[in-house]
Structure 1
Amino acid sequence: MSWLTNVRNALSFVVPVKKDTPDNLWHKCKGCGQMIFTKELEENLYVCPQCDHHDRIGPQARFEYLLDDGSTDVLTPPRAPEDPLKFRDSKRYIDRLKAARTDTGEQDAFVNARGTIDGHKVVIGVQDFAFMGGSMGQAVGEAFIQGVEAAIADKAPYIVFTASGGARMQEGILSLMQMPRSTVAIQMLHDAGLPYIVVLTDPTSGGVMAAYAMLGDIHIAEPRATLAFTGRRVIESTIREKLPDDFQTSEYYLDHGMIDMIVHRKELRDRLATVIGYLCGARKAA
C-alpha cells in the first residue's frame, strides 16, 4: 500500500465523500439488466419499459393502483402466535420476524383491504414476497381467513394475489395446517355464492401453490411469472429428463390449461372489473 493510498484513506474519515446522485435514483431491471429511473419505473407500475419484466411489488402498491381513489380500507392484521415452536437456526425466529417487519413496515406476509374496483365492492388479499419470501405461517393463514370473512360480510368477491416460496419452515407442521384451513375458508365463500379470484405473481410456489393459489374460480397470472410446487432441478433429477425452457412459467401453465388468462399489469384493473361484473352479474341473475 503506497503512502498516497494511506493519505487518501485517512482523509476519507475527515472529508465525507459527496455523492452526485441518491442510491435509489436508478433501478437495474432483473429481466434485461438495463438501468431505469426509479421514478419512471414507479409510473410504469413497476414494469420495465424496455423488456416488460414485471417487478415484484408489495401490498400498498397493489392497493394503490387497483382500488378506486379513496376507497381503500386496509384491515388490521389478526393476531397469531409469533414463535410457537421457539425455533432457532442461525438466528432466532422472533428476530427474523422483527427484521422483516422493520424492512417492510408490515406485520406479516399477507395483508387485506376493502375497496372498490370500477365501483364493484371487493376484498383484496396480497402476499408480500419481501416479508420472509411470502412464506405461509399461522399469521398468513389467519389473514387469509380474515379476508374470506370480510368478503362474506360485504357480499363481495375475494381477490388474492399470491407471491410465496411456500410454507414457513420455522413453524413446522403448524404452517402446513394452513393448507386445509384455507381450503375450508374457500368453501365458505362458495357456500355464500361469492367468487374467489386468484392472481398468480412471481414467484408462487410450494405449499401456497398446493393450497389456495390453485383453488380459484378464475386464475389470472402476470406475464413470465414463475409458478411451481417444487424446484426444477428436483424434478429433473427425479424423472431423469430435461424439462422445457418455459416450464413453470405463466405461459406454460396457460398452454396446458392450468390457468385461465395472462394479463399485463397495466390491463389488470380493467380485466378484474370485467370479470367481477360477469361473475357478480350472473350471481344476481341467479
Structure 2
Amino acid sequence: MNWITNYVRPRINSMFGRREVPENLWIKCPETGAMVFHTDLEENKWVIPSSGFHMKMPARARLADLFDGGVYEDLPQPKVAQDPLKFRDSKKYADRLKENRAKTDQEDTIIAGIGELQGLKLVGVVHEFKFLGGSLGMAAGEAIIQAFDRALAEKCPLVIFPASGGARMQEGILSLMQMPRVTVMVEMMREASLPYIVVLTNPTTGGVSASYAMLGDLHIAEPGAEIGFAGRRVIEQTIREQLPDGFQTAEYLLDHGMVDMVVKRHDIPATLARVLKIMTGVPGTAASALLEPPHHPVPAEAGAEVPAAP
C-alpha cells in the first residue's frame, strides 16, 4: 500500500483542490444578461427583479402560489399505457420518460390540485415545461380530463396554466386525440355555467394553443409570453415574408384581440380571484354590486305611506 498516493495526496487535494460549484446558483437574464442569485429569483416568483423578465416557473411553485397559503389537495395522476408505439429516435421513448420523471419528480407533464383562492374553491392545472417541453400526451390529456371531472363534481371553476411545445410526437395520433377529448370537457364546463380561465405562459404553442388553451372564457397572459401555433422562423419560411416585431408575444396578441389582458405574475392570484368572483356572482363584491340595479328611494310626501322595500 502506497500511503502517499492513497492517503496524503487525497488529503491535500481535499484541502486545496477545486471545489465543485452547482451550475444553477446564478441565473442569467435572457433579456439584459444580468446575473441573479437563484434564491432571490425564487423569492421574486421567478421574475428577474431588475428587468421584470418572467422566467419559467416550476409547476409545483405555480400551484402553491395560486392557492391560499399554498395549501391544496393533489389530484391523482392517472395510469395510462406507457410507450404505446414503442417509439425510438436517438434513444427509447421509455428511457426519456424515466429521465424526465427523475428530473422533475413528476409522473408526467401535468399536475393538478383543488383548493381555495380568497375563499373561492377552484381546480388548478399546470403544465411542467421541464418534462419533455410540457408536451401533450396520453397521460397529460387524461390528467386534464380528470381535473375537469373534479371541477364539474365540485361545481367550481377551473384555471389552467399551459406551457407547452404542443402534442407529443412520440405518441403520434394518440397524442393528437387528447385535443378533442379536452375540448369536450371545456364544452361540458360551459354547459354547467362554470368558469374556465386560461393563463397563458411562456411558451404556449402547437396543438395545445390550437385547442383548449384558446377556448377559455377569459384569456390572461404573462408579460412577454410566446403564444402561437408554429414558430416565427417556420412561418417566415412558409409565407416568405418578414413578420412584425414582437409577433406572437402576449402584448402583440392583446393589441390584436387574441387575449383579454396581460398581467404580471405577482398580480395573477388577485386578478383571478377578482374575475372569478364576478363570473360566479359571489355576493358582497364590488363587482356584483355594479351588476345590481341602483336603488334610489323617493322621499314620501307628508302623510303618505312608504311602500315596503321589495
Retained in 2: the 8 A contact 1:58–1:126?
A: no
Q: Separation in 1 of the partners of 2:195 and 2:243?
A: 34
CA distance in 2, matches of 1:70, 1:135: 26
Q: What amino acid sits opposite 2:151 in the alignment?
A: A
Q: Secondary structure at the match of 2:201?
A: strand
> Alpha-carbon deviation of 1:24?
3.7
Alignment partner of 1:276 is 2:246 = no
| Contact 1:135/1:165, CA 8 A, preserved across alignment | yes
Return the offset for 1:70: 5.8
In the alignment, what sits opposite 1:261?
261
Alpha-carbon distance in structure 1 between the residues aligned to 2:108 and 2:211: 19
SS of the residue corresponding to residue 48 of structure 1 reads: coil
CA distance in 2, matches of 1:24, 1:233: 30
Bigger drift between 63-72 and 119-128 goes to: 63-72
The unaligned stretches of length 5 or more in structure 1 are 1-10
Query: Which amino acid in 1 is paired with 2:95?
Result: D
In the alignment, is the contact (CA less than 8 A) between 1:48 and 1:55 conserved in 2? yes
Give how far 1:57 is off: 1.3
Q: 1:15 to 1:198 in 2, by over 3 A?
A: same
Aligned counterpart, 2:96: 96
Q: CA deviation at 1:235?
A: 1.1
Which residue of structure 2 lines up, in the alignment, with residue 107 of structure 1? 107
2-structure distance, mates of 1:205, 1:123: 23
Q: Could you say which residue in structure 1 is the equivalent of 2:66?
A: 66
Q: Distance in 2 between matches of 1:31 and 1:74?
A: 35
Residue 37 of structure 1 is matched in structure 2 by 37
1:222-255 deviations in Å (ceiling 9; x for gaps): 0000111001112112222110110010011000
- Return the letter of the residue paired with 1:42: E
Question: How far apart are 1:209 and its partner, in Å?
Answer: 0.5
Q: Distance in 2 between matches of 1:12 and 1:224?
A: 50
Aligned residue runs from structure 1 range 3-152, under 5 A: 15-16=13-14, 17-19=17-19, 22-69=22-69, 71-152=71-152
Aligned partners of 1:189, 1:160: CA distance in 2, in Å? 13
Structure 2 CA distance for aligned equivalents of residues 168 and 240 of structure 1: 28
**Shift in Å at residue 22 of structure 1?**
4.9
Q: Distance in 1 between matches of 2:124 and 2:70?
A: 15
Q: Does the Cα contact within 8 Å between 1:254 and 1:262 map onto a contact in 2? A: yes
- After TM superposition, the structure 1 stretch with the greater mean CA deviation from structure 2, 236-245 or 153-162, is 236-245
Deviates more, 1:70-79 or 1:53-62: 70-79
Deviation at 1:265, TM superposition (A): 0.4
CA deviation vs aligned residue, 1:174-202 (integer Å, no higher than 9, x gap): 10001110110111111111010000000
Q: Deviations over 1:131-182 (max 9, x none)?
A: 0000000011101101100111111101000000010000001100011101
Cα distance per residue 1:17-58 (max 9 Å; x no partner): 343965443222222211111111111111000111111012
Amino acid at match of 1:233: R
SS of match in other structure, 2:245: coil
Instruction: Determine which structure has greater relative contact order: mean sequence separation of CA pairs < 8 Å that are 6+ residues apart, divided by chain length.
Output: 1
Shifted more, 228-237 versus 142-151: the winner is: 228-237
Superposition deviation, residue 64 in structure 1: 1.4
**Within 1, Cα distance between the matches of 2:11 and 2:133?**
38
Unaligned runs of 5+ in 2: 1-8, 292-310
Matches within 5 A, 1:169-184: 169-184=169-184
Alpha-carbon distance, 1:117 to partner: 0.7
TM-score, normalization by structure 2:
0.85
3-state SS, counterpart of residue 84 of structure 2: coil
Distance 1:67 1:240, change over 3 A: same
Aligned to 1:124, the other structure's residue is in SS state strand
Q: 2 CA distance for matches of 1:266 and 1:46?
A: 10
Distance 2:149 2:122 in 1: 12
How many residues matched?
275
Question: What does residue 191 of structure 1 align with?
Answer: 191
Partner Cα distance (2:18, 2:280) in 1: 58
